[in-house]
Structure 1
Amino acid sequence: MLIATLIAAGRLDDRLLAAALERVPGASFSGWLDEGDAADLAVPDAATARAALEGWQDCDVVVQAPAEREKKLLVADMDSTMIGQECIDELADYAGVKPQVAAITERAMRGELDFAAALAQRVALLAGLDAAIIGRCLAERIRPTPGAETLVSTMRARGAFTLLVSGGFTDFVAPVAAALGFDNFRANVLARDGDWLTGTTTGAIVDSEAKRIALEEARARLGLDAGAVVAIGDGANDLSMVRAAGLGFAFRAKPVLAEAADARLDHHGLDALLWAQGIPRRDWVI
């Protein structure tokens, strides 16, 4: 049997739980993680349970094997995942080109454009922008997704390694990683000419394949198998790393990633990933 973690924070009463069990042939109640919020069900088949419960009554459901349920490596995307914004779109607003940049970002995240080419197009529109605007953008626009800090802090406290990987820029990723408590990060580097952005990047591009490689390198360094890894992202650039993880999540995701992921998190904050790992709220680090 598999574990299906049913999450409906503040709403998971006996009536809703009984209705969920009726929707999945062969399912049974295994126990509460937090009464009223999240419970474990035993289910015979992942596809059937997901089809029956995913999105039903604004619930999130995570179906997995019992082995290695608690993960030892978290690999997370940043923009529209660990934070609620797309940094390049917000920075472009200060340059007066947000509509053009945001349109390219949307197409890239849907997998309609080559990521590296889309990145080059967007960064070129920032040429001549005062680099000091980055700090202003961070302070005024960038906010963590609910549950992000609790997820990272709790996993680290329980011995997991946490890695933030982003197709964005170190100017944003480094401070966000520090604020949320990540162990390490990887991102692109914006080139400068003195105090001004040149409209280019330097070094290798962090694209979908680079994110997968970062996950694999961290996993190998820690001596873990794939089952000990959880990854989460929102767009096409996260496909490879989500597929490489033992448990790959799509967070408020574009269809291309939502269809490929092991689980979707559409209705709750990032701390719901702790319930998915069998960790009750009393053990969260808040």
Structure 2
Amino acid sequence: MAKGSDPRNGPSVMQVVESCLQKLFATENSDQIKTFAISRTDAKVHAIRSPILIGLPVACDWFSQSELARTEFLLCFNDQIRNNGFTNAIELLQVDPVAMGFHPCFHVSYRRYVYRLRVISTEQSLNYPNRFFAHLSHVIPSDPSLASLSEFNYSWTIPPTFNIERAQFVCDLLKRPGQNFASFFLHQMRQRINNKEYKSVTRRRQLLQLQISKGESYHDFTDCEDEAQFYNLDFVGHGFMRQQVSRGKIKENLFKKLGKGIRIRDNLINYEEKKSTGNGCKSES
């Protein structure tokens, strides 16, 4: 959902959307259209029902006033997607006008993320290089199966040392009342030390849901079997929490440490005790 993309990785979602808008609106208005990606995702993350804010020039007021025009626009937009080779890749679900002052981050009630984990078996792990276990690198095994290739872009492969009970313990710990994830907003420490101005965070950000459950493979193969176990890490955030997914503590503690078989129960409990007594790390920014 980012505005730009690496040319080597092909077009981004926003580039496709902007190209469709230029075709559907008059030429004299297309240059004045502004788009804002409300939810930026990591590379190869599949966004479902993710909103995009579109700012139209004054000459396009008819668009917000006519429900019929928005319905026709929805049909024409999806036709453009299908006719240009993006079938099943992008689909516009609905178009709603918003009031002036609508904020693309703070006026969104919640965000839901689902990470699909593919925990390979001990036998499957023999095909993976050492850097996979050291850094959880996203790599293709030396002797890949059809199932492992099909899941490469749809799940996160985890070593067999992953423990579901310890993962659920971390989920329960991070859901405790009083946790504030507002510190996930991007304010670099060097900016604070140099007394530079930055937007302060006054609202609390909490996890409404965080759980790990049994999952399934993305593709249904009838001619081969995948010995891996699948799990879904499902969490719902209250509003927008920057770095909630890409470089957050959830990802570091839950995926990397548990995926490498490290016991972190005592470390997390000590971290909680330090927070409650005012020593060590703080939960507020």
With the shorter chain as reference, the TM-score category is under 0.3
- TM-score (norm: length of structure 2): 0.26
Which structure has more strand as a fraction of its residues? 1
Which has the bigger relative contact order, CA under 8 A and spacing at least 6? 1
Which structure has more helix as a fraction of its residues? 1
- Structure ID, larger Rg: 2
- TM-score (norm: length of structure 1): 0.26
